[in-house]
Structure 1
Amino acid sequence: MGYKVAKYFQIKQDIINLIKSGELKPGDKVDSESVLKKKYNVSTITVRKAFNDLINEGYVVGVQGVGTFVAKKQMIRGLTSISFSDELVQQGFEIDLNVDKIEEILNPRIADILEIPHDQSIVCVRRIRIANNEPIAYQSSFVDSRILSLNQAKKIYENKSFYKTLKEYRIVPTWVNENYSVREVNDNRIAKLMNITKNTNTFFVKRIAFNECDEIIEYAETYFNKAWYSVTVNIKV
Structure 2
Amino acid sequence: MKQSLLYKINSGQFLPGDKFYSEAELKKEYNVSGITVIKAIQELKQEGYLVRYQGKGTYVSKGKKAKVVRFSDQEKYQGMQESTRVLTVERMTDPSIAKELNISEEEPFYLIKRVRMIDNIPLLVQYSYVLAEFIREEDVENLEAFSSIYEKIKEDFQINLFQADSTEVTEICFPTPSGESDLLEIKKDEPTAFIRRHTYLPGNRVVEYIETYKRWEYFSNKIEPL
Give TM-score scaled by structure 1 length: 0.58
Q: What residue number does 1:79 align with?
A: 72
Q: Deviations over 1:157-215 (max 9, x none)?
A: 14622221221222432121100110135432321110112242111100001123432
Match of 1:128 in 2: 115
- Which of 158, 165, 182 aligns to 2:172? It is 182
Which whole-Å CA distance do the structure 1 matches of 2:155 and 2:140 have between them? 10
Q: What is the alpha-carbon root mean square deviation over aligned residues?
A: 2.6
Matched, 1:201 2:191: yes
1-structure distance, mates of 2:174, 2:139: 32
Cα contact 1:156–1:165 (8 A) shared by 2: no
Contact 1:105/1:121 (CA < 8 Å) preserved in 2? yes
Separation in 1, partners of 2:71, 2:116: 18
Question: 1:129, 1:185 → 2: CA distance?
Answer: 20
1:164 and 1:208, CA in 2 relative to 1: closer, same or farther beyond 3 A?
Answer: same
Task: List gaps (5 residues or longer) in structure 1.
Answer: 1-76
Q: Which runs of 4+ in 1 moved over 6 A?
A: none
User: Distance in 2 between the 1:190 and 1:137 partners?
Assistant: 9
One of 85, 93, 99 as aligned partner of 2:86: 99
Alignment of 1:31-110 (within 5 A): 79=72, 91-110=78-97
Please give the secondary structure, in 1, of the residue aligned with 2:195.
strand
Match of 2:200 among 188, 193, 210: 210
CA distance in 1, matches of 2:146, 2:137: 15
Unaligned runs of 5+ in 2: 1-69
CA distance in 2, matches of 1:200, 1:133: 20
Amino acid at match of 2:167: N
Q: CA deviation at 1:144?
A: 1.7
Name the % identity.
23
- Partners of 1:95 and 1:212 lie apart in 2 by 31
SS at match of 1:123: strand
Q: Which amino acid aligns with 2:72?
A: L
Q: Could you tell me whether the CA contact under 8 Å between 2:112 and 2:129 is conserved in 1?
A: yes
Match of 1:148 among 135, 156, 167: 135
SS of residue matched to 1:146: helix
- Identify the match of residue 165 of structure 1 among 146, 149, 152: 152
TM-score (norm 2): 0.60
The residue type equivalent to 1:118 in the other structure is E
- Is contact 1:180–1:206 with CA below 8 Å preserved after alignment? yes
